[in-house]
Structure 1
Amino acid sequence: MQLHFLELVWFSTYAELRAERARSYLGFVWWLVEPALMMAAFWLVFDRILGTGGPDYLPFLLIGLVLWQWFKSSVVHAGQAIWLNLALIHQVRVPVLVFPFVHLLADAIKFAAVFGLLLVVLWGAGYPPNAAYLSLPPLLLCVALCAIGGGLLLAALMPLLPDLRFVVEQLLSVLMFLSGVVFALERVPAPYADWLAWNPVLVLLDALRGVLLHGRWPDWIALARVAVAAVALAVLGIATVQRLAPRYPKLAA
């Protein structure tokens, strides 16, 4: 059963990526264009106009925006997956977890391609590979687990509360500015930094920038705390979807 599920997710993801490519190349290109446009806007505002950037602000921004795009896209796409496929759920008996996991895997594959380009850009800009790159797999795995947990919780609830998608869009916009995408944690005053440090996305993004820009190993204790929370969130998301799965075929498509 588990092997069948994994095969179904993999082949459905392959079909989804091929269909997206057949419809338009913009789906992949947008993963490159959107971070570049946002980077230009934030660089203009925070570095040129406000003067709060710094010598490394462009690569700093690029890393933050690429990672945030992966997290945001994964949560949004996975969160809408079951709701958008209610008509298919009415007709075909299929594990509902397949739908969000297809989008999670598709977004992870696109992120892997964009992340590879990001590394090449950083190397060309004078930030070569270093020994701390060995910490990239656990760092990126923690980000993936956070996205899985958030996406699955949203996927479980959205068929029951479709208007939740509008709330999530606003919450993600706020979360982006609370996740250190445009600022460094060390520049935040102490009382606020202590609160922001509870944001796992900020902790992971700060650690990733330390690895890529400064060759600095992450704080393994902080990373372990985030990993435990991310695993718990992912398990909760899977359990919530499975618990509510019998209700989805009864909902109007």
Structure 2
Amino acid sequence: MTNPEIYKATQEVCARHGRRLPENWEAEIRQTLQSHCASSPQYNGQDDFFVHHDRGVWSCKVTSPMRFKASQHLKMAALLDKQAELSRERAQKQASMAEVFRMLARRATAKEAEIEPRLALPAPPGPHEPIEVWENFLTEVTAMSEAAQKPRTILYAEHMIALKKEELVPTPSNLPFLVAMIDEPGPFGDNLSEWRQLLSDVEQLPDSVQKRHTVNRAKQMIATKLWENKTGSSL
């Protein structure tokens, strides 16, 4: 682009956003181009964004700022904040431009969340599946590409495996098999609050083989219900 084309584009963008151009803004643009061009004597030594082809003719090496990722907007904001600290005369303008990039970063973050590819993860095993099935599931999910639900799914699988391991711990030989009995939630009470209530009630009972089994099962069901609530899935 030529300098006049860059000036015109700058005026259009500022008019669109209701921002008034400062005095000597054309000189500021030229200074910005030169300080961010490695072949320019005014190059700042670190941010090589532009290419100088001929007198008043430039091109940009990076993606248009309107298509920056959130992290790129934040980098530009940090750069402008640094420049504002170095120059009192331009501090207000640079700080204002930095705020614009932070606003663009917030918009980009929201947009990236909307368009984030939702990689389909395999459905977790049921809570009654043995530990080997859960370990295979964890291995499979861990090896997959990053996805929004991957970290949460890994934590869920690790928690279930830990509970499955507790089931395999031998109980003391002198421990009674059954002292008291509390029924588990039925089909119409199969929800998070009912399982939490069952766990609370059973934990008050004297120790027994059945109590330990029921406590562990309640914890597994609570973990499953929590995962279903957070992901909108149902096993």
Is TM more than 0.5 here? no
Output the TM-score relative to the length of structure 1: 0.22
Larger helix share, 1 or 2: 1
Output the TM-score relative to the length of structure 2: 0.23
Bigger Cα Rg: 2
